[in-house]
Amino acid sequence: MTAAIGKFIRFLPSGAGLILLVVGLRSTIQMMGQPLGPHDEGLLLTNANLVSQGQVPYRDFYSNYPPGIYLAIVGLWKLFGVSVTAERALGFAAHGVLSLSAGWLAAYLAGSRFSFLAAGMVLLWLAWLGTVAFAWLVALAAALVTCALLLRALENGSRSRWIAAGLALGGVGCIRHDLLIYFTSSLVAVAVAWRIGTRRWRLSRPELTAVACLVLGAVVPLLAVWAPTLARAGVGQAVEDVYGVLVRDVMPARDLPLPPVLELRRTIPPPLAAPAFLIHSFEGAAALTLVGPAVALLWLLGAPRMGLRSRAGPALLLALSVAVLPQMLGRTDASHTLYTVTPSLILLSALVEWLTRGRGLWSAAAALAIAGIMYSPARTHVRFPDPGSPAAWQEAYPRYSRLPEVEAAREAVLAFIAESTDPGDPITRGSE
């Protein structure tokens, strides 16, 4: 392989990433004008309005969104006035933080300054979700920032950096308490496994100081956000909402099977066929999320051979790729599966960059295949029709349009509701 070809191959991930960034940004901006979401976005706006009046929303506060997301929206309203645009600006910012953090973390693994490929992939994949300030995306952005700050703290060791990482970790719990539980549990498990592997049973004084600063930083935002809420709502009510409503009633009802990621589907043009995870973003996101921990283990075990400065980066992303699994496995639908794809995109994008660093044509071919697998399911996110045009939406996404079998099921549900209720009866949907 000549030097010119090697240089060109090395540039390909950055060049493709820049294109994906532009396309993903365009698609995300266009989704700012989509119609108001009646359920998730309705809860965010309604309950944020209640919080601004000093009230504590019932049930949805705990089962769907902790207080932090409402307080963030209220804060924006105080600065810029009450509007849907302010709430969606928060969602847009979450997309931006996720993209930039992904680029930084992938570059940390690959040994570069910034991974445009990871940043572009993440922005394009998440564009389908629109710019609603979904609490999960905001919390995931805080989790990625936590990973970046932890890596900086491990390199520098200063107390201020450990406290900053703790503040970001506490921010995760203010936005999504479930992600905090899964993430911290995974972090502890990875740390314990590392201790067992290195046979270092006791923490040194600097390590104890670092842990103390991390915990202190996390406790500050958690207490600031949760203590007033629990004081007003009562601990008993919170426990009933979290366990009695969410764990006992809501979560079992939301349990859906995994999509058939390996099922052969027709491609365009027919009669060719390919696995579903290469054609549709739902199945693709599920497949990528599932392989995330395995790719993180590959990075972790191959760190010395792959030239990593330390195993800390792969270890943190292993913890995060495991922490997002319950979100997808507990509610396997198109939206909630897309929430969880980011860690895997970071790990795979870093692998693509590593493979294109002068390691021969076979490595370059493997990198191209991995990049194609990441991009192919998300290709339908590139061009969005006018959000206000149902006809254009159905033309672009016929799979989710009013198919006959979907209409038949809808009519059956409406008939059941009509037979089982009287006019004017309240009907509960989800955890409302």
pLDDT higher at 394 or 248: 248
pLDDT in tens, 63-77: 557 889 999 999 999
Mean pLDDT, rounded, of the chain: 85
The structure tokens listed for 32 are 């700012």
Threshold 0.75, pTM exceeds:
yes
Statement: residue 6 has pLDDT above 90? no
Exposed, middle or buried by CB within 10 Å (0-12, 13-18, 19+), for 269? exposed
81: left (phi over 0), alpha (psi -120 to 50) or beta: left
Residue 402, pLDDT > 80, answer no
pLDDT tens, position by position, 336-371 = 899 999 999 999 999 999 999 877 888 899 999 999
How far, in Å, CA of 377 to CA of 291, rounded?
A: 15
Average pLDDT over residues 209-232: 92
Give the rounded percent of residues in the chain with a pLDDT score beyond 90: 50
Q: Select from 172, 183, 182 the least CA-distant residue to 218.
A: 172
How large is the C-alpha radius of gyration of the chain?
Answer: 23
Residues 296/281, Cβ–Cβ less than 8 Å? no
CB 71 within 8 A of CB 224: no
pLDDT of residue 213: 96
Instruction: For 82-130, write each residue's pLDDT tens digit.
Output: 999 999 999 999 999 999 999 999 999 998 999 999 999 999 999 999 9
Helix (H) or strand (E) holding 323: helix 312-323
Query: pLDDT by residue (tens digit) across 156-205?
Result: 878 999 999 999 999 999 999 889 999 999 999 999 998 888 788 788 88
**Structure confidence by residue, pLDDT tens digits, 31-44:** 888 888 777 888 88
**What one-character-per-residue DSSP string does 371-395 give?**
HHHHHGGGGGGS----TT-HHHHHH
CA dihedral of 45, 131, 68, 166, whole degrees rounded to 10: 180
What is the pLDDT averaged over residues 239-266?
A: 75
CB proximity list for 148: less than 8 A, separation 6 or greater: 101, 104, 105, 108
What does DSSP assign to residue 421? -
pLDDT of residue 427: 59
**Domain ranges within the chain, ordered by starting residue:** 3-384
Report pLDDT for 274: 85
pLDDT-derived band of residue 333, with 50, 70 and 90 as boundaries?
confident
**What is the predicted pLDDT for the residue at 393?**
38
- Of 248, 272, 273, the residue nearest 263 (C-alpha): 273
Residues 6+ apart with CB under 8 A from 291: 344
Percent of the chain with pLDDT over 70: 87
Q: Which residue from 36, 82, 41, 76 is spatially nearest to 60, judged by alpha carbons?
A: 41
* 230-240: average pLDDT: 79
Q: How many residues does the chain have?
A: 432
Going by C-alpha positions, the residue among 129, 108, 130 that lies closest to residue 119 is 108
Helix (H) or strand (E) segment spanning residue 264: strand 264-266
Reported as a single tens digit per residue, the pLDDT across 296-325 is: 999 998 888 887 778 899 999 999 999 999
Task: For CA atoms 338, 168, 59, 77, give the dihedral sign.
Answer: negative
**Tokens found for residue 177:** 């308490």
The whole-angstrom separation of Cα 354 and Cα 110 is 5
Q: Identify whether the C-beta of residue 130 lies closer than 8 Å to the C-beta of residue 91.
A: yes
Lowest mean pLDDT among 3-7, 395-399, 425-429: 395-399
pLDDT higher than threshold 50 for residue 389 = no
Is 320 in a helix, a strand, or coil? helix
**Is the pLDDT reported for residue 18 higher than 90?**
yes
Residue 270, number of CB atoms within 10 A of its CB: 7
